[in-house]
Amino acid sequence: MVSFIVQTQDGVKDDNYKYLGLPLSDTNIQLIKDFKKTQEYKDWFLASRQINRAMDRIKSAGDGLKPLIKFQEQVQKVTDKLRSPINSGIMSLPNPFFSGYKVDADGDIESNIQPVGHKRRPTTGVGITGYMSTRGLNNPVEISKSWLKDYGLTITGFKNIKYLCREMNVTYGEAFKYICEGMTKNPKRYRHHRITMEMFRGSLAVVDLIDFYNSKRAEHRSKNKYKFTQEQLYRSPEFKEFCKLHGIEFATFKTFHAWWLEINKLHKAEAKKRPQGLLS
């Protein structure tokens, strides 16, 4: 579909391409820009210009059928090359039986590149071609094993994840299932999303817990009692209620202590970012 859009809208600037009368998304525009860097596009561009020049000569010469026959031969050569099943697919004209690209409901290009044996090349413009090449991967699905070893593939946004999921044969439902499994399998990971990230969104639950701890310490000092410790907080009914409300748990006090130090540090850093004023 990328090649079809480029070929039928020759001379149009990148940002002005349309499909079915509608502007293309930023991701699809980037795919077109990447496509124009390929050798297949350069070959087509050169061939199309040669055909145009031949057409101009025919119009100006008007000396019989000889130039027309030559022109038809040039057209046939270019057409055969573009329709060749051996072609990589990027330069192929629309085929009723197979198309390298189609557009989804969001207007984003959806790849349908066919595997060859155990290998399948990645879609141009998704951002994984170089990653797969440097790691010797033969199929985009293999990224699932490789990425966790080096985190070498940069995730640029949710639309990028959408394309990656498609390349790895992961549906929307499966992606959400894997997220839930990953978050709940590890208590630390769940605490991060349930407590820390909620604090960054404005939740005061952690702030209230820290205030409770500080008030108990102040109370003990004012009454000349022993210092109110983190272990006392850990075993307090207030903290147990906090854990129950948020669905979190700590296997040991040592685990809680590490989390408490981290969450206090993050809370102080977050407080410094807030605008200071009458309500601060």
pLDDT in tens, the chain (280 residues): 566 666 666 677 766 767 666 677 777 777 777 777 887 777 777 777 777 776 676 666 655 555 655 666 666 665 555 544 334 333 333 343 444 556 777 777 777 788 899 999 888 777 788 899 999 999 999 999 999 898 888 888 888 888 889 899 999 999 999 999 999 999 999 999 999 999 988 889 999 999 999 999 999 999 888 999 999 999 999 999 999 999 999 999 999 999 999 999 998 887 777 655 544 4
Same domain, yes or no: 197 and 157:
no
- pLDDT score at 241: 95
Strand 109-111 and strand 101-103: the pairing is: antiparallel
Helix runs in 123-171, H state only: 129-134, 143-150, 158-167
Give pLDDT, residue 99: 44
Total structural domains in the chain? 3
Bridge partners, residue 101, by sequence: 111
Torsion angle, CA of 123/91/34/54, rounded to 10 degrees?
A: 180
Asked whether residue 279 is domain-assigned, the answer is no
At which of 148, 183, 218 does a domain end? 183
Q: Which of 64, 83, 102 is the last residue of a domain?
A: 83
Gap between the Cα atoms of 87 and 268, Å rounded = 59
Same domain, 71 and 139: no
- How high is the pLDDT of residue 67? 60
The last residue of one of the domains, among 130, 157, 183, is: 183
Are 202 and 133 part of one and the same domain? no
Residue 109, SS3?
Answer: strand
pLDDT at 97: 40
The tokens for 176 are 């959400």
What is the reported pLDDT for 239?
95
pTM attached to this predicted model: 0.56
Query: Kind and range of the H or E element at 67?
Result: helix 66-83
Grouping H, G, I as helix, E, B as strand and the rest as coil, residue 19 is: strand
Residue 6 lies in a domain: yes
Q: Are residues 147 and 198 in the same domain?
A: no
| 262: containing domain | 186-273
pLDDT at 232: 95
133, 124 in Cβ contact below 8 A?
no
90 is a domain residue: no
